[in-house]
């Protein structure tokens, strides 16, 4: 086994162990469940309302966008927070001392946050079975499409979170930058309303980023085929959706390890201690 594959295997094991530990940590588990519970409550109040001009319930129309948004909210933000904090506490500095340490570290972070995000998505889907009419009848093909788009969405979001978390100096700055980026992309990506309502240049900008395509993929899996009439070109465009998400995933997974290695090479005990001192000052 090559050193890179060995490091990736260790990263998978570490990520799985950390995920299991997170399920026994009340603050971590409570944070995940609280955010998901808010979205479930919204779905509950939408269950009897109808989307104007259609026969769809408002809950049916909202569920795909909610699932799409949970990927960056849980996955990307979680990755950003982990990287920013672990630069500050020296975890990244220790990882660089190991052979292929950055590969193993990145695989471990991706595994842990993927499992956490997928767990939240499953909870949301279980709630949807009660509040969204017809969800049980979408068929195995669409369930497979849903799982595939969720996985591609995670693989496109998590490496980007690793890059942001490793480059931004403080956890507060990394979190703020991520929230601004997610908020802006949500506003222009047609997650909760047809993107055709936006100006043409905003539609073009949204097409560059994965959030629009992730929302489109989720809608194609969970909504009836007739709902595609509200999309650009009147089609779900599954091939384009898969290719764009796959391109973002490959670009992120290829670029994140060298960026992490470059950042780690500049790390030192004195820099870590200076950041720790600044963090203690923020708390006092």
Q: CB within 8 A of 156, min separation 6: which ones?
A: 210, 214, 245, 248, 249, 252
For 35-84, how does the pLDDT look when each residue is reduced to its tens digit (9 = 90+)? 778 888 888 888 777 777 677 778 888 889 999 998 988 888 888 888 87
Partnered with residue 50 across adjacent β-strands are 57
Q: What is the pLDDT of residue 147?
A: 92
* Angle at CA of residue 150, ends 123 and 234, nearest 5°: 115
pLDDT band at 249; cut points 50, 70, 90: very high
Percentage of residues in the chain having pLDDT higher than 90: 19
Helix and strand numbers, DSSP H then E, in the chain: 12, 0
The length of the chain in residues reads: 284
> Which percentage of the chain shows pLDDT scores above 70?
90
Interval 252-270 mean pLDDT = 76
Confidence (pLDDT) at 216: 93
Mean pLDDT value across residues 153-182: 81
pLDDT at 267 over 70: no
In 17-55, which positions are buried (b, 16+ CB within 10 angstroms) versus exposed (e)? ebbeebeeeeebeeebeeebeebbeebeebeeeebeebe
Q: Is the pLDDT of residue 219 over 60?
A: yes
Q: Would the pLDDT of 151 be above 60?
A: yes
Q: Say what the pLDDT of residue 282 is.
A: 59
Which pLDDT score, from 0 to 100, does residue 45 have?
Answer: 83
pLDDT, averaged across the chain: 83
Average pLDDT for 117-138: 85
List the single range of 41-50, 83-92, 210-219, 263-272 with lowest mean pLDDT: 263-272
| DSSP conformation class of 50 | B
> Hey, where are the domains in the chain?
3-283
At residue 153, the 3 state secondary structure works out as helix
Partner residues linked to 57 by β-bridges: 50
Is 190 a residue whose pLDDT tops 90? no
- Max mean pLDDT range (95-109, 158-172, 175-189, 262-276): 175-189
Q: How confident is the model at residue 239 (pLDDT cuts 50, 70, 90)?
A: very high
Listing DSSP states for 70-93 in one string gives HIIIIIIHHHHHHHHHHHHHTHHH
pLDDT confidence band for 98 (50 / 70 / 90): confident
Structure tokens at 106: 């990145």
For position 271, what pLDDT does the model report?
60
Distance CA 268, CA 276 (A): 12
pLDDT at 283 over 60: no
DSSP 61: H
pLDDT given for residue 194 in this prediction? 81
Query: Which is nearest to 49 in space by CA: 58, 62, 61, 40?
Result: 58
Mean pLDDT in residue range 172-194: 83
Give the closest residue to 191 by CA, choosing from 61, 53, 52. 61
pTM: 0.85
Using CB atoms within 10 A of its CB, is residue 189 exposed (0-12), middle (13-18) or buried (19+)? buried
Check whether 276 has a pLDDT greater than 60. yes
Contacts of residue 211, Cβ cutoff 8 Å, sequence gap at least 6: 68, 69, 72, 182, 185, 186, 189, 191
Could you tell me which residues come within 8 angstroms of residue 160 by beta carbon, excluding any fewer than 6 positions away? Answer: 76, 248, 252, 256
């Amino acid at each position: 086994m090559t050193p890179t594959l060995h490091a990736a295997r260790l990263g998978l094991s570490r990520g799985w162990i950390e995920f299991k530990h997170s399920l026994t940590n009340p603050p971590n588990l409570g944070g995940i469940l609280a955010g998901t519970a808010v979205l479930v409550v919204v779905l509950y109040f939408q269950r009897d309302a109808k989307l104007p001009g259609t026969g769809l319930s408002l809950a049916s129309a909202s569920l795909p966008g909610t699932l799409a948004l949970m990927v960056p909210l849980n996955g990307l933000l979680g990755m950003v927070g982990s990287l920013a904090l672990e630069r500050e506490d020296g975890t990244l500095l220790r990882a660089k001392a190991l052979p292929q340490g950055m590969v193993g570290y990145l695989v471990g972070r991706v595994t842990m946050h993927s499992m956490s995000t997928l767990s939240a998505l499953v909870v949301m889907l279980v709630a949807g079975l009660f509040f969204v009419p017809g969800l049980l009848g979408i068929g195995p093909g669409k369930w497979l499409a849903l799982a595939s788009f969720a996985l591609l969405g995670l693989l496109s979001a998590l490496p980007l979170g690793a890059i942001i978390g490793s480059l931004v100096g403080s956890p507060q700055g990394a979190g703020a930058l991520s929230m601004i980026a997610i908020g802006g992309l949500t506003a222009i990506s047609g997650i909760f309303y047809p993107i055709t309502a936006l100006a043409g240049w905003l539609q073009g900008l949204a097409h560059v980023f994965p959030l629009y395509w992730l929302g489109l993929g989720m809608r194609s899996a969970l909504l009836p085929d007739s709902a595609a009439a509200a999309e650009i070109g009147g089609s779900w465009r599954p091939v384009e959706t898969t290719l764009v998400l796959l391109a973002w995933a490959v670009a992120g997974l290829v670029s994140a390890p060298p960026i992490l290695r470059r950042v780690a090479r500049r790390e030192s005990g004195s820099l870590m201690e200076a950041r720790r001192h600044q963090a203690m000052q923020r708390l006092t």
